[in-house]
Amino acid sequence: MLRADLNDRLTQVGPGTPMGELYRRYWLPVATETDLHDNPVKRVRILGEDLVLYADDTGGLGLVSERCPHRGASLGYGFPENGGLRCPYHGWLFDGEGTCLEQPNQTPDSPSLRERSRIKGYPVRALGGLVFAYLGEAPPPAFPRFDLFTWQEGEGKFRDIGHAVIPCNWLQIMENSFDPTHVEWLHGRLYNYHLGREGKEPTVLGGHHVKIAFDLVEYGIIKRRLREGQSEEDEDWRVGHPVVFPNILKVGGNGLASFQIRVPMDDTHTLHFWYQWFEVPERFADQVDEILHLPDTYPVTLQGPDGSFLMDTIDSQDAMVWVTQGGRTSRDDEHLSSSDQGIAMYRNLLRAQLDANANGESVMNVLAPEDDYVINLPQEQKELGLDSGTGANPFASFLRLQSRYSQRLPELVRRIDAVIADGQDAVTSAH
């Protein structure tokens, strides 16, 4: 159990809260680059602040407070012009630092009024298809160039980014990443129950966990598991899944490498990114060129029309258990067991980093501005176990993830199916 005051310390993320101030030490993704291609002005809510992200008419990016200081209208309905963002109401112009550059109908011009009209502006930077923001005190730390953010498309490799707003606190989502045994039940036994009712092929995720372990490392925690029938030479135990402090899980295998990134919007909403790279075997690599024209981002559907959570993807199953705990769950009535040792380790790490931040000390993964280098993270390469492994198309099983809502992956699966069918037809004809 966790006392209510300690739970507040870990879950509240608004300005001035301990966790909110810790999160403001990090660069956080707030949108995809494709979002701004579709519309150069986007309202975002991050760490309890209502902001507007925009691409100006010179190609620069800005992130400013949503409320215009003139009469309070939303800058989220404004438009980019003259290197800044104009308010839709009276045309006041703001740059990315929040400086008021113009007040068109103010006569005579008043530099002091423009100075008093300054709003918050935060640094933003695009990398790897995402737009990141830094909401903390200057100077910003080095940008976290974790490996997948630096990859390039081509030669059989492509990127896909799913996103959704999850209506619950960020910690409920992150604690799931330190709970290996839920896979056995939620994604194994429960999923197979639903698949069986539909007459579909089961997963092999229901294997019983013999033991689990968690290792504190320089960038966070690695979780490891050993199932019945495995040895300690298997990747589940030997490599494991890295969790990058404070909010990124790396997972993948069999051609998939992905980050699950959880960004607190406020105390009861989380912006979730499924940041994925797919590497296609050489036999099918030429098919990747045929899908790169399709958008690399997409919204993820987790609930049906009646609000019930869908049970047909791994990710909607996860969302169900996150959200049904409540918008911000209490923890003073929980009963942790031995399988929750990773959650206990993560909470201890959070407390230690909160204390360090409060004392003005260095915190994990906040790098000095000059420390701009790529950080490579380990990852398993095994099959994920989403089906029985008997299918000829190596990417079809990924449609049991939220990737089914992508425009790119389903089209790739269709094309690979066609290549396989053509090959089988050629063999048949030869005989």
Can you give the CATH number for the domain in which 228 is found? Answer: 3.90.380
Q: At which of 105, 134, 163 does a domain end?
A: 134
Judging by beta carbons within 10 Å of its beta carbon (0-12, 13-18, 19+), is residue 1 exposed, middle or buried? exposed
Say whether both 277 and 320 belong to one domain. Answer: yes
Say whether both 115 and 221 belong to one domain. Answer: no
pLDDT digits (tens, 9 = 90+) for 150-195: 999 998 999 999 999 999 999 999 999 999 999 999 999 999 999 9
pTM assigned to the model = 0.95
Is position 17 within any domain? Answer: no
Say whether both 129 and 256 belong to one domain. Answer: no
Q: Is the pLDDT of residue 397 over 70?
A: yes
**What is the average pLDDT across 263-289?**
96
Range of the domain at 325: 147-426
Say whether both 169 and 201 belong to one domain. Answer: yes
> How much of the chain exceeds pLDDT 70, in percent?
97
* CATH code assigned at 60: 2.102.10.10
Lowest mean pLDDT across 17-21, 109-113, 199-203, 263-267: 199-203
**What is the average pLDDT across 386-414?**
87
Taking the alpha carbons at both ends of the chain, their separation in whole angstroms is 68
**What is the average pLDDT across 281-306?**
96
Say whether both 161 and 305 belong to one domain. Answer: yes
Say whether both 229 and 343 belong to one domain. Answer: yes
Q: At which of 72, 102, 134 does a domain end?
A: 134
**What is the average pLDDT across 399-405?**
95
Give the integer Cα–Cα distance in Å for 133 and 27.
5
Q: Strand, helix or coil at 249?
A: strand
Is position 113 within any domain? Answer: yes
**What is the average pLDDT across 353-368?**
96
Torsional sign, CA 87, 89, 92, 98 = negative
CA 92 vs CA 70, 87, 169, 375: distances in Å: 8, 5, 36, 42
Is position 157 within any domain? Answer: yes
Q: How confident is the model at residue 386, as a pLDDT? A: 76
301 Cα distance to chain centroid: 15
**What is the average pLDDT across 242-262?**
95
pLDDT digits (tens, 9 = 90+) for 64-100: 999 999 999 999 999 999 999 999 999 999 999 999 9
Is position 140 within any domain? Answer: no
Say whether both 128 and 167 belong to one domain. Answer: no
Say whether both 212 and 125 belong to one domain. Answer: no
> How much of the chain exceeds pLDDT 90, in percent?
86
Q: How confident is the model at residue 251, as a pLDDT? A: 94
Give the integer Cα–Cα distance in Å for 96 and 94.
7
Q: At which of 92, 108, 134 does a domain end?
A: 134
Q: Is the pLDDT of residue 328 over 60?
A: yes
Cis omega (within 30 of 0) on the bond before 141?
A: no
Say whether both 248 and 376 belong to one domain. Answer: yes
> In which band, very low, low, confident or very high, does the pLDDT at 424 lie, cut at 50, 70 and 90?
low
Give the integer Cα–Cα distance in Å for 418 and 356.
56
> In which band, very low, low, confident or very high, does the pLDDT at 388 lie, cut at 50, 70 and 90?
low
**What is the average pLDDT across 269-274?**
98
> In which band, very low, low, confident or very high, does the pLDDT at 427 lie, cut at 50, 70 and 90?
very low
Q: How confident is the model at residue 138, as a pLDDT? A: 93
CB of 412 closer than 8 Å to CB of 287: yes
Is position 139 within any domain? Answer: no
> In which band, very low, low, confident or very high, does the pLDDT at 431 lie, cut at 50, 70 and 90?
very low
Written as six digits, the tokens of 317 are 């199953």
Q: How confident is the model at residue 371, as a pLDDT? A: 84
Is position 10 within any domain? Answer: no
Is position 170 within any domain? Answer: yes
Say whether both 115 and 180 belong to one domain. Answer: no
Q: Taking the C-alpha atoms of 170, 12, 17 and 215 in order, what is their torsion angle to the nearest 10 degrees? A: -50
Say whether both 221 and 81 belong to one domain. Answer: no
Is position 20 within any domain? Answer: no
Say whether both 183 and 233 belong to one domain. Answer: yes
Count up the domains in the chain and report the number: 2
CB of 298 closer than 8 Å to CB of 404: no
Average pLDDT score, the chain: 94
Q: Is the pLDDT of residue 16 over 60?
A: yes
Q: How confident is the model at residue 299, as a pLDDT? A: 97
Give the integer Cα–Cα distance in Å for 247 and 232.
28
